[in-house]
Every structure is written in structure tokens, then in C-alpha cells.
Amino acid sequence: MTHLPPPPADLLRDAALFLDFDGTLVELQDHPDAVAVDARLGGLIDRLSAALDGRVAIISGRPVAGIRALFGDPHFAISGSHGLEVAWPDGRHDRAERPAALDRIVVQMKAFATATNGVLVEEKPLGAALHYRAVPAAEGAARDLATGLAADAGLHLQTGKMMIEVRVAGADKGTALNALMQAPLFAGRTPVFLGDDDTDEPAMIAARDLGGAGVLIGAPRATAATWRLDGVAQTLSWLEAATESLGQ
């Protein structure tokens, strides 16, 4: 596996900055609702946004509404639900249609969670996820159930960290980054994407293909990223140094 160095502090000069959320800006927690945006992170994103003239966006597997609530109605762009929705700084909100099948899928996932102590169901506007972080032995059964539900409904099977999701198809974090880069706010700048998960790889590839770069957060693995940071603590420290190098 190729050794990836940490990114230089001046990487964000003239950049459009795209950030994954869980595992990149906040440490993973046992429950999806247990994460929080503290004053350090909130202030950092505000300073980054000011330094980059607003060219900052979150690209998350969480719904837009969830990211918005965590940051307290922020002014930056948010792509949520793995690229299936985008909230723009001017208030526009593009979102795919919710398929009726998701209601039935949630019912079946809840029945599985009731029978499998420790499994959680996360309901999303465009998907439904089974979380088995508290009971890793349930991974196989959760995966089998989600695979069948996705196939029956013609929906997309989305893997994640200690979770499996059934969601609307047709987008990923790469299509999200490309869509954001076409907006006047970001167009013509150099995309830089930071992310930790396999689901972040399409955005690493999209950033690279547009002349920018990805930064892998976490242990070395096969990746399209150019740079690497060890974890959330190093990411926050690097973003602070990068912000200072931009004069903020």
C-alpha cells in the first residue's frame, strides 16, 4: 500500500473544500444521535467558510436536515443522503423523490431490530439503515435482510461503517462533488475532499479527476486520495493550521 503523506498547510489556497462528516469532523459514536458539533468545530467551519469566500460544503450520508440541525442552520452548502439531496446557501433544496417502498422497508427493519437486541433502525428521507455497531454478530443477518429488501424494491444497497442501508439509487458522493463544482460558487476552483469511509472514494476520485485531491482520514488502505491524516483529531488540527495559512 502506498504511503500517503499529510497534506501541506497551504493546500486550501484557491480551493473548494468538501468535507465528509462522521469519522472526519466528529468521532464515531455508538448511536447516530450521539454526535454533536461543538464550539471548536462550529467556529472552525465558520472561519474556513470566511477564508474561502463561502467555498465550503459538507457531503454526507446523513440527510441534509440532520447536518443542518447539527450545525444550527448553517450558511454553507450541504449535500446529504449520499448525493441524493443538496441544500444551497441561497435556500434552494434539490431532493430526489421518496419511494413508497421505504415505509414497508422500515417496518421490516424494525421487526428485525426488535428481534435482535442492540440493532438500531435509522429512518432517513431517502433511505433506511440497520446499525449493528452494538452487536457486530448481527452483521450477516442485517446484510441479508437489507440485500433482499433492496432487490425487492429496486433500491440501492449502501454499505457503511457497522451499518447497511437501503436507499434511492442514482447518486453517490462523487456525483455530489461534481454537481457542487458546477455551481458558480465553486466552479473553476480546485476541489479538495476529506473523508474516511469507502463511501467517500467516489468523491476522492471526482476531486482528483477535476485536478484536485482527496485526503484520506484514518488508517492506510486502498484509496484514490493523495494525502492522509490519522483521524479526527489530526483533521481538526490540520484544518485549523490551513485556516491560519489563509489568514483567518
Stretch that binds ligand L263DTV3, among 25-33, 83-91, 106-114, 180-188 (CB under 6 A): 25-33
Among 7, 12, 18, 23, binds ligand L263DTV3 (CB under 6 A): 23
Smallest distance, ligand L263DTV3 to C-beta of residue 87, A: 14
Contact string 169-198 vs ligand L263DTV3 (x = CB under 6 A): ----------------------------x-
Using CB under 6 A as the binding rule, whether residue 225 contacts ligand L263DTV3 is answered as: no
- How many residues form the binding site for ligand L263DTV3 (CB under 6 A)? 22
Grid cell of 185 as nine digits: 460558487
Q: Which is nearer to ligand L263DTV3, 2 or 69 (CB)?
A: 69
Residues assigned a catalytic role: 20
- 27-86 residues in contact with ligand L263DTV3 (CB under 6 A) are 28-32, 35, 60-62
Q: Which is nearer to ligand L263DTV3, 23 or 74 (CB)?
A: 23
- 86-145 residues in contact with ligand L263DTV3 (CB under 6 A) are 122, 129, 131, 133
- The CA distance from 28 to 1, in Å, is 25
- DSSP secondary structure letters along the chain: ----PPPPTTTTTTEEEEE--BTTTB---SSGGG----HHHHHHHHHHHHHTTT-EEEE-SS-HHHHHHHHTS-SSEEEEGGGTEEE-TTS-EEEPPPPTHHHHHHHHHHHHHHHSTT-EEEEETTEEEEE-TT-GGGHHHHHHHHHHHHHHHT-EEEEETTEEEEE--S--HHHHHHHHHHSTTTTTSEEEEEE-SGGGHHHHHHHHHTT-EEEEESS--S-S-SEEESSHHHHHHHHHHHHHHTT-
Smallest distance, ligand L263DTV3 to C-beta of residue 166, A: 12
∠ CA 8-216-126 to the nearest 5 degrees? 130
- The residue whose Cβ lies closest to ligand L263DTV3 is 61
Grid cell of 191 as nine digits: 476541489
Q: Which is nearer to ligand L263DTV3, 14 or 30 (CB)?
A: 30
Smallest distance, ligand L263DTV3 to C-beta of residue 68, A: 13
List interacting residues with ligand L263DTV3 (CB under 6 A): 20-23, 28-32, 35, 60-62, 122, 129, 131, 133, 160-163, 197
